[in-house]
Amino acid sequence: MSTILIKNGTVVTLGQNNRVIHDGAVLIENTKIKQIGNSPDFTGTYDKTIDAKNKVVLPGFINAHMHFYSTMVRGLGKIEPAVDFADVLKKLWWKLDRQLILDDCYYSALIPLIDAIKKGTTTLIDHHASPFAVTGSLDKIASAVKQTGLRASLCYEVSDRDGNDIADEGIRENITFIEKCNAQNDDQFKALFGLHASFTLSDKTLRKAVDAARGLNTGFHIHVAEAASDQEHALKHFNMRVVERLHNAGILGPKTIAAHCVHIDENERSILKDTDTSVVHNPQSNINNAVGVADIIAMQKKGIRVGLGTDAMTVNMLEELRQALWIHHLAQNNPSVGFMEVMNTLTVNNARIARKYWDNGIGELKEGHAADIILMEYYPPTPFNENTFLGHLGFGLSQSIVDTTMVDGKILMENRKLDIGIDEADIAVESSKLAAKLWERF
Ligand SMILES: [Zn+2]
């Protein structure tokens, strides 16, 4: 048995009954939180003690929609300007993902995973595409996840854009990885069934995906009405809206993640609510692609579970949170709107989404829950308590530095020094060499 005591910190539990404990302590026994309380009450001997003075102790953050593979596009110059979102896909992402080889998949995952440790993001729900290197791609990414010690849910993005054979290969890649995860029952890895989006999926492929996933206790991870063109396509070709189509096909449900939902109507919100489907908001990506602003206020009023993702714009969940705060003010021309709805996405709903797959309590510090914990240096300039915490999170803590990151009771970074047995600089050199070759193929 190994024990770690984090003491003298300001413990913030998050969860639906968020508590702030000054001079707080968290005792970790092996992989789990054994006890939370006031520092003076912990008088035993422990294998390791971490002094969290002037630090806020929080559960690690969860990123509910991510694409590791986008890493190697950073700095790529020779991209024709896109006129709209469909053009962004054609001129950038679909050109890029067709060129990815398995080694690119590995390094492009390792880089943001290392960064996630530094930003305090301990669980990532990824969505992967490499249509000419499908088979084995999820294992490659899983090996990167394994090396970093973080948690991830992986899936392969099935679409018809590269023909039947590649769509079928994508279905097989999902099934292989889902079955492996089910057999291993390892809390480091979970699997979903990845689908690209309504406008790149035929009815036949949707049917095949639903048939293949049957009985595997999984859900789908799919982009939904990210741009208006997804709706136009569904109406033109299927005479129904995107969410209606996915519902009819059997895609929605409590384990399914519908990313974006920028262009959905009231009836579609009702379907998402009735099917208990999770929605993930990605404001930075939506701003960047100029596709619009998802009405997460209306969605939450309806009772939909709306979480926060980054769509690969960053692994820093607090940066994403801040963008979400501002964009709803601008979109609704109202500087007071949406604060609680935005805050809920990260501090409450991402944990609720994660618990559809993990049953170890991630996202909330509580006795018996997995010890996924971060420490952030912070000197509150105003009273810091349960009533003021969200203001501190949005306007102060979000500007602070993550000092220590732990997953399952294992320290991955302490005092800002990575402790995962790999050299970040070496990994970046290797990634850069591969990216240069990838850019030549682009
Ligand atoms: Zn995405």
pLDDT attached to residue 319 = 98
Centre of ligand 1 to C-alpha 291, Å, is 13
Per residue, the 3-state secondary structure of 267-336, as one string, reads: HHHHHHHHCCCEEEECHHHHHHCCCCCCCHHHHHHHCCCEEECCCCCCCCHHHHHHHHHHHHHHHHCCCC
Q: Which two tokens stand for residue 435?
A: 């990216």
Instruction: Work out the pLDDT band at 1, boundaries 50, 70, 90.
Output: confident
| Mean pLDDT in residue range 178-191 | 96
Centre of ligand 1 to C-alpha 218, Å, is 19
Centre of ligand 1 to C-alpha 92, Å, is 14
pLDDT attached to residue 290 = 95
Cβ-in-10-Å burial (0-12, 13-18, 19+) of 425 comes to exposed
Cβ-in-10-Å burial (0-12, 13-18, 19+) of 259 comes to buried
Centre of ligand 1 to C-alpha 372, Å, is 25
pLDDT attached to residue 16 = 80
pLDDT attached to residue 330 = 96
| Mean pLDDT in residue range 199-220 | 98
| Mean pLDDT in residue range 229-246 | 98
pLDDT attached to residue 81 = 87
Centre of ligand 1 to C-alpha 125, Å, is 11
Cβ-in-10-Å burial (0-12, 13-18, 19+) of 438 comes to buried
Residue whose C-alpha is closest to residue 325's, from 398, 223, 227: 398
Centre of ligand 1 to C-alpha 260, Å, is 8
Centre of ligand 1 to C-alpha 304, Å, is 19
Paired residues of 414 in beta bridges: 417
Instruction: Work out the pLDDT band at 21, boundaries 50, 70, 90.
Output: very high
- Other CB atoms within a 10 A radius of the CB of residue 217 amount to 9
Q: Which two tokens stand for residue 342?
A: 């935005």
- 375-425 pLDDT, tens digit per residue, is 999 999 999 999 999 999 999 999 999 999 999 999 999 999 999 999 999
> What is the percentage of the chain residues whose pLDDT exceeds 70?
100
Which amino acid, residue 77? G
pTM of the complete model: 0.97
Query: Cα-flanking dihedrals φ and ψ of residue 176, to 5°?
Result: -60, -45
pLDDT attached to residue 339 = 97
Centre of ligand 1 to C-alpha 398, Å, is 23
For residue 22, give the H/E element and its range.
strand 20-29
- 280-307 pLDDT, tens digit per residue, is 999 999 999 999 999 999 999 999 999 9
> In this model, does residue 442 exceed pLDDT 90?
no
Environment of ion ligand 1 (residues, CB < 5 A): 311
The answer to whether residues 132 and 156 touch, using CB atoms and an 8 Å cutoff, is: no
pLDDT attached to residue 165 = 97
Q: Which region among 44-53, 80-89, 107-116, 227-236 has the lowest average model confidence (pLDDT)?
A: 80-89
Centre of ligand 1 to C-alpha 239, Å, is 25
Where are the strands (E) in 164-233, listed by range? 189-191, 193-197, 220-224
> In this model, does residue 78 exceed pLDDT 80?
no
Centre of ligand 1 to C-alpha 228, Å, is 15
Query: Token pair 């699997």 is at which residue?
Result: 191
Centre of ligand 1 to C-alpha 224, Å, is 9
Q: Which region among 74-83, 172-181, 293-302 has the lowest average model confidence (pLDDT)?
A: 74-83
Q: Which two tokens stand for residue 292?
A: 């619009």
Average pLDDT, the chain: 97
Determine what percent of the chain falls in helix, strand and coil, rounding each to the nearest 5: 45, 20, 35
Residue length of the chain: 442
Instruction: Work out the pLDDT band at 18, boundaries 50, 70, 90.
Output: very high
The helices-and-strands tally (H runs, E runs) of the chain is 16, 18
- 332-382 pLDDT, tens digit per residue, is 999 999 999 999 999 999 999 999 999 999 999 999 999 999 999 999 999
- 102-115 pLDDT, tens digit per residue, is 999 999 999 999 99
pLDDT attached to residue 373 = 98
The answer to whether residues 153 and 190 touch, using CB atoms and an 8 Å cutoff, is: yes
Centre of ligand 1 to C-alpha 112, Å, is 15
DSSP secondary structure string for all residues of 106-160: HHHHHHHHHHHHHHTEEEEEE-B--TTS-TTHHHHHHHHHHHHT-EEEE-B-B-S
